């Protein structure tokens, strides 16, 4: 949106790269590359550990495509995640940052769990955008690809603001024509965090308990991992200080208020014809 406002999952790179080393992850799947900021860090990790990075994005930015042309060891699948799963081997870690809606994320997690189970590998997944605005509100890059019964009523031209479930026309946090937001936040089958809650509840019913940390910064990062992995205790120690951390949450809320104020100023400048 603007360079002033941080938004990438790569803001968590210290934590993610430490976790990848700790879990001795070699093969990594990234869902959602966009400009490739995180992809470059992951590719370097895979190169050093003799692993493979597979990056899935149906429409990455040109910057990612340019970078890919000189990093031929990285595999890019120009498909949606749910189309790509049939071609995927089990990975040691997954970065989930593609289409931020219940249907996509719930099924991504189901696929990740099934592929990992078949290969006998523990699950380690980092999920971005689990906080506001997508935690409890679907966002769609391509709403027509979501089956009708799972698709929330949505709009491209209205935005999310804090402390209010309904969108505001022409204002707030919005996708500028690139993505649509559900018109209402909350309720069943709505949002990334709701998808994770439902996945974890299903798993528990089936007898599997995952570890899960919620890091309330930069739109929220979730770390979901197998409690039976040999590295699970060390990973839990790494993420525990960040889990639902009150100071981080207060800073994020303040950042979001400032973020929305910047959007408001951009909208005012655009309305004056100076934006």
User: Which chain residues interact with ligand SAM by CB under 6 A?
Assistant: 8-10, 31-35, 37-38, 56-60, 80-81, 97-99, 104, 141
Name 153's Cβ contacts closer than 8 Å, sequence gap at least 6: 182, 183, 184
d(CA 100, CA 190): 10
| Angle, CA 42 vertex, CA 41 and CA 48 arms, to 5° | 95
Residue 233 exposed, middle or buried by CB count within 10 Å (0-12, 13-18, 19+): exposed
- To ligand SAM, the closest distance from the beta carbon of 38 in angstroms equals 5
With respect to ligand SAM, which residue has the nearer C-beta, 120 or 147?
147
With respect to ligand SAM, which residue has the nearer C-beta, 34 or 92?
34
With respect to ligand SAM, which residue has the nearer C-beta, 98 or 191?
98
- To ligand SAM, the closest distance from the beta carbon of 71 in angstroms equals 16
With respect to ligand SAM, which residue has the nearer C-beta, 1 or 162?
1
Dihedral over alpha carbons 201, 205, 208, 212 (to 10 degrees): 20
- To ligand SAM, the closest distance from the beta carbon of 255 in angstroms equals 16
- To ligand SAM, the closest distance from the beta carbon of 254 in angstroms equals 21
- To ligand SAM, the closest distance from the beta carbon of 30 in angstroms equals 7
The 10 Å Cβ neighbour count of residue 48 is: 10
With respect to ligand SAM, which residue has the nearer C-beta, 23 or 139?
139
- To ligand SAM, the closest distance from the beta carbon of 250 in angstroms equals 23
Name 97's Cβ contacts closer than 8 Å, sequence gap at least 6: 9, 30, 31, 32, 38, 127, 128, 129
| Angstrom distances, CA of residue 138 to CA of 67, 101, 197, 209 | 30, 4, 14, 26
- To ligand SAM, the closest distance from the beta carbon of 126 in angstroms equals 10
d(CA 255, CA 253): 5
With respect to ligand SAM, which residue has the nearer C-beta, 50 or 178?
178
With respect to ligand SAM, which residue has the nearer C-beta, 36 or 51?
36
């Amino acid at each position: 949106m603007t360079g002033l406002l941080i938004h990438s999952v790569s803001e968590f790179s210290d934590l993610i790269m430490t976790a990848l080393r700790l879990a001795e992850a070699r093969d990594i799947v990234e869902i959602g590359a966009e400009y490739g900021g995180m992809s470059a860090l992951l590719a370097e990790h895979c190169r050093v550990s003799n692993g493979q990075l597979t990056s899935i994005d149906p429409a990455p930015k040109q910057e990612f495509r340019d970078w890919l042309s000189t990093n031929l060891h990285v595999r890019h699948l120009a498909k949606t995640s749910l189309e790509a799963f049939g071609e995927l081997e089990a990975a040691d870690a997954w970065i989930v940052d593609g289409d931020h809606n219940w249907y996509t994320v719930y099924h991504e997690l189901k696929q990740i769990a099934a592929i990992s189970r078949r290969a006998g590998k523990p699950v380690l997944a980092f999920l971005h955008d689990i906080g506001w605005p997508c935690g409890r509100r679907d966002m769609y890059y391509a709403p027509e690809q979501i089956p009708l019964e799972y698709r929330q009523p949505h709009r491209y031209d209205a935005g999310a603001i804090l402390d209010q479930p309904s969108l505001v026309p022409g204002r707030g946090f919005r996708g500028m024509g690139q993505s649509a937001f559900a018109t209402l936040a909350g309720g069943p089958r709505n949002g990334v965090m709701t998808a994770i809650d439902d996945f974890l509840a299903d798993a528990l019913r089936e007898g599997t308990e995952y570890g899960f940390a919620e890091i309330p910064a930069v739109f929220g990062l979730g770390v979901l991992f197998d409690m039976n992995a040999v590295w699970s205790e060390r990973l839990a120690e790494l993420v525990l200080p960040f889990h639902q951390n009150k100071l981080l949450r207060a800073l994020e809320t303040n950042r979001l208020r400032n973020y929305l104020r910047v959007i408001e100023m951009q909208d005012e400048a655009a309305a004056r014809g100076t934006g």
